[in-house]
């Protein structure tokens, strides 16, 4: 195998690694996006619940685009999970602040993933150009020296 063929194979392996990393980051980005949407929905639901006022009949989302009809008993307080199966019963404005902090954190994570994804895509594009050049160089030389064809 010539050094050109070795370079081509190595270049293709590196390109495949970049593609796998890009796919993994894209999956992470999707998970983060879904988490962000969930937190935004929770914030909106708490705000609307509070605005509805005591005794109002409201639709409460329970996930998977399903809702239950409920009556507002305490429009000023809500339960929210804070991790490790701990739940806090606190004023809705405080709960919204907690959610906003999480939303900020999730947004920052999404931005970091997006930047890393863009950088990997740039590298993969450059590697793809290298592989293309190496292939064209080999093709112009007849792919391999006599006796080295597979």
What are the pLDDT digits (tens) for 34-73? Answer: 999 999 999 999 999 999 999 999 988 888 889 999 999 9
Mean pLDDT taken over the chain: 91
Assign residue 134 the CATH number of its domain. Answer: 1.10.287.370
State how far the Cα of 120 lies from the Cα of 114, in Å rounded to an integer: 10
pTM to 2 decimal places: 0.79
User: Does the residue 60 lie in any domain?
Assistant: no
Let me know if residue 68 belongs to a domain: no
The band of 140, judged by pLDDT with boundaries at 50, 70 and 90, is: confident
Residue 80 in any domain: the answer is: yes
* Per-residue pLDDT tens digits for 128-138: 999 999 899 88
58, part of any domain: no
128: domain range?
3-47+76-140
Is 148:2 a contact under the CB 8 Å cutoff? Answer: yes
| Rounded Cα gap, residues 99 and 71, in angstroms | 23
In a domain, 55, yes or no: no
Looking at the 3D structure of the chain, how many domains does it have? Answer: 1
112 lies in some domain: yes
Neighbours of 78 (CB within 10 A): 20
């Amino acid at each position: 195998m010539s050094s050109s063929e070795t370079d081509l194979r190595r270049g293709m392996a590196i390109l495949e690694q970049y593609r796998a990393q890009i796919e993994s980051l894209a999956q992470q980005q999707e998970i983060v996006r879904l988490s962000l949407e969930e937190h935004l929905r929770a914030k909106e639901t708490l705000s609307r619940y509070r605005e509805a006022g005591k005794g109002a009949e409201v639709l409460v989302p329970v996930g998977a685009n399903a809702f239950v009809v409920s009556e507002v008993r305490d429009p000023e307080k809500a339960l929210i999970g804070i991790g490790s199966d701990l739940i806090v019963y606190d004023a809705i404005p405080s709960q919204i602040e907690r959610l906003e902090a999480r939303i900020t954190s999730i947004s920052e994570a999404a931005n970091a993933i997006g930047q890393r994804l863009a950088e990997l895509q740039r590298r993969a594009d450059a590697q793809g150009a290298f592989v293309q050049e190496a292939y064209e160089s080999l093709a112009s030389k007849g792919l391999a020296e006599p006796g080295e064809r597979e």
